[in-house]
Amino acid sequence: MSFKVQYGSDNVSLWTPAASASYTLSTGSIVAWIDAEHTESVVTATGDGTYNSGYNVVVTLADRFNGKTFGQPSADGRTHARYAAADLSASINSRRTVWFSEHVLNSVTYDVVLTASTGDWQGVLPAGNEDRAVFAVYKVNRFYPYNQMHYIYGFGNNASNQEYNAVFWATGSSPENKAAYLFVEPYGTDLEYTDDGGGKLFNTPETAEVWYQYHSSSNVGIATKNGSTDLTEYSYSSALATYDGALTKFTLGDDLALSKYGFGWTLGELIVIEGIPDNDDRQRIEGYLAHKWGSTALLPADHPYKSAAPTNGLVQAFPIAESADAYSDISVDFTINTFKNMSSVYKRELQQVPFSLANRGPSTIRKKSSAYSSSLG
């Protein structure tokens, strides 16, 4: 019998952004980690009114590294993002997501957006023309209106050349349009991502994908998705002057001025790095996100984490199950040796989870009880 480790389990061997010691990133530092699956980071309420009746809505969404929160802006007419349970169509890989469910077509008034308090991220995010990288998992359900900018995220200030973001330009002509290409709109000249032949980087409609962007201090910008080595680059070299001061802003689902049209999409996870990860680190993060959010089929065949999720150097000597019945071929008591000086004695007559651990790092990871899927072989 063989076992496949699952994210969200008691197993301590899987790499996550909370990895410690020698398994932090070799290059760059994670400065923001937004994880919709982490229920402890989300405060919800029961929705009401015309649009959200019967749904849980997001009151606040906290970053896992430093606790800074996003919430609904006070602008009149705004409506809450929904918190999609694992059994809703807006979930990704049966995991919870933040659902930016646009309710009124061709309208700014009812845009669904989450914003941090102005100035709250000052001194935290990459500023000026510093190196930065962003990994994200999201699924686009609908772009409308067409020939408009649709924002995934943005940080900086809504002044000339002072915002870094991920923006899609929808090219279709109906409410069901789901295809768009990615670019950066820094409140200056748009920076489209193109390949050597001038081809643009499009999303795959209604598909959760692992996106990767970076901007270097040498004025080069790169984007790709799903672990591909076919990189797209800024349409021309450009410096940024990302703002870092009392007016620093960070938004999800709109530009920093809260002035663009919304669209229907769901967010799984977003990671911001100060610096540019080397190839090993980049692939480790891609592997983590792809395995967690069910996108491994989209990874290239030669990706190092195509078949197995990245690990963090800790070894778990025996898989955990929710009940002794899972191991019918075991007839004796045994001891699980984990790491450092911790161990747990497992007795067959008791239905027990041997141990539950909390990693202490930039944040606390609370382990859950569902640990493995199994297969004969």
Within a domain: residue 306? no
- Residues 15 and 134 reside in one and the same domain: no
Low-confidence ranges of the chain (pLDDT < 70): 1-6, 8-11, 20-23, 50, 74-77, 103-110, 144-147, 172-178, 313-377
Cα separations (Å) of 367 from 12, 57, 77, 205? 9, 25, 39, 33
Helix segments in the chain, DSSP class H: 49-52, 279-292
Tokens of 229: 């080595």
- Residues 112 and 236 reside in one and the same domain: yes
- Residues 211 and 249 reside in one and the same domain: yes
Per-residue pLDDT tens digits for 250-280: 999 888 877 777 778 899 999 999 999 999 9
- Residues 73 and 13 reside in one and the same domain: no
Per-residue pLDDT tens digits for 354-369: 333 333 334 333 333 3
What's the confidence (pLDDT) of residue 35?
96
- Residues 68 and 211 reside in one and the same domain: yes
Of the residues 263, 298, 333, the one at which a domain ends: 298
What's the confidence (pLDDT) of residue 359?
37
What's the confidence (pLDDT) of residue 175?
58
- Residues 218 and 326 reside in one and the same domain: no
- Residues 235 and 357 reside in one and the same domain: no
> What average pLDDT does the structure give for the chain?
77
- Residues 10 and 154 reside in one and the same domain: no
CB contact at 8 A, 121 and 248: yes
Within a domain: residue 305? no
CB contact at 8 A, 276 and 27: yes
- Residues 1 and 53 reside in one and the same domain: no
- Residues 198 and 243 reside in one and the same domain: yes
Output the domain CATH number for residue 255: 2.60.120.200
- Total number of domains in the chain: 2
Cα separations (Å) of 139 from 43, 159, 309, 361? 22, 29, 21, 29
- Residues 164 and 206 reside in one and the same domain: yes
Within a domain: residue 277? yes
The 3 state secondary structure assigned to 140-180 is EEECCCCCCEEEEEEEECCCCCCEEEEEEEECCCCCCCCCE
| Distance spanning both ends of the chain, measured CA to CA | 5
Within a domain: residue 31? yes
Of the residues 298, 331, 364, the one at which a domain ends: 298
- Residues 13 and 105 reside in one and the same domain: no
Within a domain: residue 1? yes
Of the residues 238, 264, 298, the one at which a domain ends: 298
Within a domain: residue 221? yes
Q: Which domain holds residue 335?
A: 1-20+312-377
* Distance from C-alpha of 138 to C-alpha of 303, rounded to nearest angstrom: 20
Per-residue pLDDT tens digits for 304-337: 999 999 988 665 544 444 444 444 444 444 444 4
Report the predicted TM-score, pTM, of the whole model to 2 decimal places.
0.80
Within a domain: residue 304? no
Within a domain: residue 99? yes
What's the confidence (pLDDT) of residue 327?
42
